[in-house]
């Protein structure tokens, strides 16, 4: 179990990430001036939870504040585009539980930036306000107009005005496509993942654009080498101050990264599962004796062989911060927790021993006895965990990471009661699947 002290250490490790994350990166892009001319600049692109009214940029003459009133749009090359347009839309919320008893007719009219989701004969746009998400459509060069969706609550029943579906059906009819896609339109919710495929069908071969959001989920497989470390000293049946050397192990696993920064790709949450194991082997020998008097003493020569093995499934949960998300070779830091689960039935550490004892008892002639056997000296816990920190680099779909798992207590040695600690350090190569971005 993680202690309060460990939890504070995690927060201390993650605090610098939060500070650095406040700084936004500049991305090569453009804006359209009032004459519609393209002007190159660097855009300060954020992970906006609502459409911005002011966008900061750096042009050839210094800093710029791009607004919908003074520009016709802006974008980041090969990533995302916005246009400026004066639109009218229904502003009442469509999420939550507090809805009116009839559909709201509250309208807002303003010039704002609209995010371009699909381009062709028909363009699809998105506006995120503090109240809701609104989708707009432009048909063959017309001004963008709202795809209407409203929600009300009548007699404790949620009712929806899905007028946007009627609009889409009419557009399909105008394109001579009839009712072929009526079922898909009927199933379409008021969200990008449902509307975008329909607009792409509507555009057909004219669709030469699609939005380029960064990949939200990044599956990854990895393999490498892991070194188990055992910082504890322990006493055996006879030998004292023993210490296990590091044990090497192959490492294989799978993971999933969730991109919390869909524009910059800076901040991610990761979860991975890995398999590894260790084998312990140490032999020591020596002599111990007891002298009470000339008539009562003994001397024992011993040899102890300590051995044991175990295999683990380890669960890692971590936060990752990418220091330079725009570079070809990206460097990252991460911090979180790890928890290992022992999967071997017998995970004990044993002592195989042989002894030869010579001594005198009550003044009788010296006697010599020999003994041998095996005894468990440690029972490793079934599960244990601690703090995880790491760093690495990624290039394309490849990733190389170095992780350090702080040692965790697991079990106690018999006799001495000394607590046993296990930690790891690993180096692994990973390969990410999905779109190549971020």
Smallest CA-to-CA distance from 45 within 19, 71, 61, 23 is with: 23
Record the pTM: 0.57
Other C-beta atoms closer than 10 Å to the C-beta of 436 total 9
Task: Let me know: does 82 contact 72? Beta carbons within 8 Å.
Answer: no
Smallest CA-to-CA distance from 406 within 393, 390, 417 is with: 390
Q: What is the pLDDT of residue 214?
A: 54
- Sorted by where each starts, the structural domains of the chain and their CATH numbers stand as 80-210 (no CATH), 217-432 (2.40.160)
Task: Let me know: does 29 contact 56? Beta carbons within 8 Å.
Answer: no
Q: What is the pLDDT of residue 407?
A: 93
Query: Residue 234 pairs with which residues in a beta bridge?
Result: 242
Phi, psi of 419 (to 5 degrees): -80, 140
Q: What is the pLDDT of residue 379?
A: 83
Mean pLDDT by 10 residues, the chain (438 residues): 50 45 71 92 86 94 94 91 96 88 93 94 94 94 94 89 95 86 93 92 63 70 96 86 92 92 77 96 92 88 94 96 82 96 90 92 86 89 93 92 94 71 95 64
CB-count burial class (<10 Å; 0-12, 13-18, 19+) for 149: buried
CB-count burial class (<10 Å; 0-12, 13-18, 19+) for 22: exposed
Distances in Å between the Cα of 207 and the Cα atoms of 5, 73, 105, 117, 324 are: 56, 20, 33, 11, 33
Q: What is the pLDDT of residue 22?
A: 44
Kindly state the tokens that stand for 401.
């990471």
């Amino acid at each position: 179990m993680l202690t309060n002290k460990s939890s504070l250490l995690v927060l201390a490790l993650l605090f610098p990430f939060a500070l650095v994350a406040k700084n936004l990166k500049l991305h090569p892009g453009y804006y359209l001036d009032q004459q519609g001319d393209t002007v190159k600049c660097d855009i300060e692109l954020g992970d906006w939870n609502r459409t911005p009214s002011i966008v900061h940029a750096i042009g050839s003459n210094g800093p710029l504040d791009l607004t919908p009133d003074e520009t016709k749009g802006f974008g980041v090359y090969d990533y995302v585009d916005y246009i400026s347009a004066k639109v009218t839309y229904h502003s009442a919320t469509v999420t939550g539980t507090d809805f009116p008893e009839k559909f709201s007719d509250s309208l807002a009219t303003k010039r704002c930036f609209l995010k371009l989701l699909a381009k062709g004969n028909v363009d699809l746009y998105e506006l995120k306000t503090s109240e809701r998400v609104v989708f707009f459509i432009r048909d063959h060069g017309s001004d963008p107009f709202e795809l209407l969706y409203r929600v009300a609550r009548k007699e404790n029943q949620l009712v929806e005005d899905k007028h946007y579906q009627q609009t889409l059906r009419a557009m399909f009819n105008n394109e001579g496509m009839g009712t072929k896609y009526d079922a898909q339109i009927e199933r379409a919710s008021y969200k990008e993942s449902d509307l975008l495929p329909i607009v792409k069908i509507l555009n057909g071969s004219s669709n030469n654009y699609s939005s380029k959001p960064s990949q939200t989920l990044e599956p990854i497989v990895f393999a490498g080498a892991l070194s188990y470390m055992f910082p504890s000293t322990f006493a055996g049946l006879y030998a004292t101050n023993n210490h296990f050397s590091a044990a090497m192990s192959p490492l294989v696993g799978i993971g999933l990264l969730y991109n919390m920064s869909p524009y910059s790709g800076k901040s991610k949450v990761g979860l991975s599962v890995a398999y590894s194991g260790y084998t312990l082997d140490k032999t020591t020998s020596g002599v111990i004796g007891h002298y009470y008097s000339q008539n009562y003493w003994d001397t024992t020569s011993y040899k102890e062989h300590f051995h044991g093995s175990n295999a683990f499934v380890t669960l890692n949960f971590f936060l990752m911060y990418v220091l330079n998300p725009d570079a070809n070779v990206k460097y990252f830091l991460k911090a979180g927790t790890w928890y290992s689960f022992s999967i071997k039935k017998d995970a004990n550490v044993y002592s195989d021993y042989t002894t030869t004892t010579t001594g005198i008892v009550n003044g009788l002639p010296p006697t010599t006895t020999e003994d041998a056997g095996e005894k468990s000296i440690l029972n490793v816990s079934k599960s244990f965990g601690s703090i995880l920190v790491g760093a690495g680099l990624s290039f394309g779909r490849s990733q190389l990471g170095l992780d350090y798992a702080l040692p965790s207590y697991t079990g106690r040695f018999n006799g001495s009661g000394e607590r046993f600690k296990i930690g790891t350090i690993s180096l692994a190569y990973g390969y990410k699947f999905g779109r190549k971005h971020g």
